[in-house]
Structure 1
Amino acid sequence: MTGFGGQFETEAVPGALPKGRNSPQRPAFGLYAEQLSGSAFTAPRHENRRSWLYRMRPTADHRPFERYEGASLFAPGTANEPVAPNRLRWDPPTDLPGGADFVDGLVTMMSNRDPADLEGVAIHLYRASRSMAGRVLVNADGELLIIPQAGTLRIFTEMGRMELAPGWVGLIPRGVRFRIEIEGEATGYVAENHGAPFRLPELGPIGSNGLANARDFETPVAAYEDVDGPCEVIQKYLGSLWTTTLDHSPLDVVAWHGNLAPCRYELARFNAIGTVSFDHPDPSIFTVLTSPSDVPGRANADFVIFPPRWMVGEDTFRPPWFHRNVMSEAMGLIHGEYDAKAEGFQPGGLSLHNLMSGHGPDVESWRKASDADLEPMKIESTMAFMVETCWPYVPTRFALDRAQPDYDLAWADFPKAQLPK
């Protein structure tokens, strides 16, 4: 199944999906009808997100949740002391837990807002070297955008299976339970969106085509697991992790229909738009997905990528220019090199430029771009991304203790401009 934000219907067993009634008196095969809502019931039709699930047992059947004792690096809360307005950058972490599954291999690097506000975003890294056995994860605080950097993830959600390799991203809606299986080791990033669900940005003067196409988002077909036996449910709720144990697998949805569903997207399908004359356009032209805030044009979160592309602007400084802005930028690198930094920014690493922090190219990148012979050139073999937000990020203690100590030196030794006497 393909598409983003459309209406879907799928069944793993013929006849499991009712026709004409969402909640019939007697669903087929003794299944239970359950609605999963990602928006208020009365949200406008174009904003309304919900799906009907037809499952073997209702999700209401569970014992009380208790605090989860593992995964101390996931959702630990941010640093308590005042946060300096410093630019920060991290090497790929080498001290994440070894032998962990996806849940215990997550570490929170930064976040903003209280999840209870239904606003804000958090950035996590993960390192996993075993599958989630006998357990599932569900996030009540927000949706999860999973960005693999190395290793393939096999994700079994309530609504079907999908595979994520580096170069793909996967979006799991708030409240959907899932299990991740791997072979070998997998590392990557997770953006946790507490605000309005991600959607495609408006195209404005670009017109009807360009950027990410709705038809390229792939939604899974129904698949279910009929397994009796202990299964741990780990739930993230109001910034903390909680656990309960079922006597069966909750991945037992036999059929579903609606417009709230997991999906995946291959970043190579993004149709980048750029200048064909002069000047460097704003990075908003690279937006794949956006979560709007209450202020028109100001995003709660934007997922932006910097893919391979042609650069042809005449008399133009082609890397990102020096800038300060009201948005806060967390950037990661999936593979290759980023064109505004000569060194120090590695695949699997992370950087943070909070609101009104001056940043841009380092000296070497500035000099190279300023002196370049501006022939058409193609930036190849790279994929960087940014999770931009209108709220300032607050790093965790784990992140602050591991930031590169000399990142500010990237902007040292710029020559002073020489004005005419």
Structure 2
Amino acid sequence: ERLTFLEGVRTITSAGDATTQVGMSAHAYVFNEDMVDDYFFNADGELLIVPQLGAIRVFTEMGIMDVEPLEICLIPRGMMFKIMKGGGQTVWRGYICENYGAKFTLPDRGPIGANCLANPRDFKTPVAAFEDKETPCRVHVKWCGKFYVTEIGHSPLDVVAWHGNYAPFKYDLRTFSPVGAIRFDHPDPSIFSVLTAPTEDAGTANVDFVIFPPRWLVAEHTFRPPWYHRNIMSEFMGLIHGQYDAKEEGFVPGGMSLHNMMLPHGPDALAFEKASNTELKPVKLDHTMAFMFETRYPQQLTRYAAELETLQDDYLECWDGLERKFDGTPGLK
């Protein structure tokens, strides 16, 4: 089947409400045809695009961005664009976070200070580019959760210059400078936040975009994978490439998992045993890139996602091998 980017988007989860500009949706996309005479803008929210397979060319009103896997791009709310293939693939796929709330910004780094995490200097905006085309074109609009289309007699990407700070941008995830413990224990997972869309309640977010990049693990007297937990954030996770350290089996590149708010989760039995018995010497976690779209709101699964034939029906069994370890021995003081 021949699909353009716009035709190949499928919604996986949704949280909040586009009409009140609260929450988000998580989508997957797959396509194999360029958007030639079709253009799109989303009045409901900004679009954070995460390619997983195949580079894409994003042609916006304000210029062109070539975005490959391990890079991301953001298209602001209401900005016209079309997406084409970039590179010799047969299929292109990836993930999209549609943010209905406050626009994405860099997180407050607090005691970390001025450097590390995602540094402002690494975000790139396009130079002006235009498309001079006086032929019939279709403009697709998403507005209050519904889609509309109209035909015009020219390309809507005929803007020859721009200025200001309401602009699309791209970011290379490989320039993210991770921080972490250098002696013991786990810092808060917010140290992996690339971008955040804040809410009025400090300590929660409308959406956080979080990555788990290659990094050194050096903590002593510490279970190094993510601990077992439940919290207010609903976690939609994807894997761009490699292996995720807390789910060594079953979670493949291009796959997705969802752990909703207040549902307990953590490393599978294999990861637990491996981490519990390994020598605690410095280890390089390499050749991996996982991410999360996480939100303070519960993410509802769409009918499309619930009826996928590729659901992992035995997902819960990854924790079956976990055994009781508590024997009453006092812990460290």
Query: Is the shorter-chain TM-score for this pair beyond 0.5, marking a shared fold?
Result: yes
What residue in structure 2 maps to residue 212 of structure 1?
118
Q: Residue 420 of structure 1: CA displacement?
A: 5.0
SS at match of 1:112: strand
1:180 equivalenced with 2:76 (yes/no): no
2:214 corresponds, among 308, 312, 322, to 308
What residue in structure 1 maps to residue 49 of structure 2?
146
1:342 corresponds, among 245, 248, 251, to 248
1:118 equivalenced with 2:21 (yes/no): yes
Q: Residue 238 of structure 1: CA displacement?
A: 1.0
What residue in structure 1 maps to residue 312 of structure 2?
404
For 1:332 and 1:281, locate their aligned partners in 2 and report how far apart those are by CA, in whole Å.
Answer: 22
For 1:123 and 1:293, locate their aligned partners in 2 and report how far apart those are by CA, in whole Å.
Answer: 18
SS at match of 2:244: coil
Letter in 2 for 1:194: Y
For 1:361 and 1:369, locate their aligned partners in 2 and report how far apart those are by CA, in whole Å.
Answer: 10
Q: Residue 417 of structure 1: CA displacement?
A: 2.7
For 1:291 and 1:396, locate their aligned partners in 2 and report how far apart those are by CA, in whole Å.
Answer: 23
For 2:230 and 2:26, locate their aligned partners in 1 and report how far apart those are by CA, in whole Å.
Answer: 21
Alignment of 1:386-401 (within 5 A): 386-401=292-307
For 2:326 and 2:27, locate their aligned partners in 1 and report how far apart those are by CA, in whole Å.
Answer: 44
What residue in structure 2 maps to residue 49 of structure 1?
none
2:225 corresponds, among 303, 319, 322, to 319
For 2:71 and 2:108, locate their aligned partners in 1 and report how far apart those are by CA, in whole Å.
Answer: 22
Q: Residue 260 of structure 1: CA displacement?
A: 0.5
For 1:326 and 1:316, locate their aligned partners in 2 and report how far apart those are by CA, in whole Å.
Answer: 24
What residue in structure 1 maps to residue 133 of structure 2?
227
Residues 346-405 of structure 1, C-alpha deviation per residue, up to 9 Å, x if partnerless? 000000000111100000100000111000011000000001100000010111122321
Q: Residue 295 of structure 1: CA displacement?
A: 0.9
Letter in 1 for 2:247: K
Bigger radius of gyration among the two: 1
For 2:325 and 2:288, locate their aligned partners in 1 and report how far apart those are by CA, in whole Å.
Answer: 33
1:156 corresponds, among 46, 59, 67, to 59
Q: Does structure 1 retain, via aligned residues, the 8 Å contact 2:194–2:209?
A: yes
Q: Residue 342 of structure 1: CA displacement?
A: 1.7
Letter in 2 for 1:156: F
Q: Residue 418 of structure 1: CA displacement?
A: 4.7
Letter in 2 for 1:151: G
Q: Residue 416 of structure 1: CA displacement?
A: 1.8
What residue in structure 1 maps to residue 327 of structure 2?
419
What residue in structure 2 maps to residue 333 of structure 1?
239
Letter in 2 for 1:355: M
TM-score under structure 2 length normalisation:
0.96
Structure 1 residues without counterparts, runs of 5 or longer: 1-97
For 1:419 and 1:268, locate their aligned partners in 2 and report how far apart those are by CA, in whole Å.
Answer: 43
CA RMSD after TM alignment:
1.1
For 1:192 and 1:420, locate their aligned partners in 2 and report how far apart those are by CA, in whole Å.
Answer: 48
TM-score under structure 1 length normalisation:
0.76
1:360 corresponds, among 254, 266, 272, to 266
For 1:305 and 1:342, locate their aligned partners in 2 and report how far apart those are by CA, in whole Å.
Answer: 17
Alignment of 1:228-307 (within 5 A): 228-307=134-213
For 1:342 and 1:171, locate their aligned partners in 2 and report how far apart those are by CA, in whole Å.
Answer: 30
Residues 160-195 of structure 1, C-alpha deviation per residue, up to 9 Å, x if partnerless? 001010010000000000011105321100000000
Letter in 1 for 2:70: G
Q: Residue 297 of structure 1: CA displacement?
A: 2.0
1:135 equivalenced with 2:43 (yes/no): no
Letter in 2 for 1:375: K
What residue in structure 2 maps to residue 197 of structure 1?
103
Which deviates the most, 177-186 or 261-270? 177-186
Which deviates the most, 260-269 or 110-119? 110-119
SS at match of 1:410: helix
Q: Does structure 1 retain, via aligned residues, the 8 Å contact 2:17–2:24?
A: no
Instruction: Pick closer, same or farther for the CA change 1:118–1:420 going to 2, 3 Å.
Output: closer
Structure 2 residues without counterparts, runs of 5 or longer: none
For 2:94 and 2:63, locate their aligned partners in 1 and report how far apart those are by CA, in whole Å.
Answer: 22
Q: Residue 204 of structure 1: CA displacement?
A: 0.2
Residues 13-54 of structure 1, C-alpha deviation per residue, up to 9 Å, x if partnerless? xxxxxxxxxxxxxxxxxxxxxxxxxxxxxxxxxxxxxxxxxx
Q: Does structure 1 retain, via aligned residues, the 8 Å contact 2:76–2:166?
A: yes
What residue in structure 2 maps to residue 20 of structure 1?
none
Percentage identity across aligned positions?
A: 53
Letter in 2 for 1:414: L
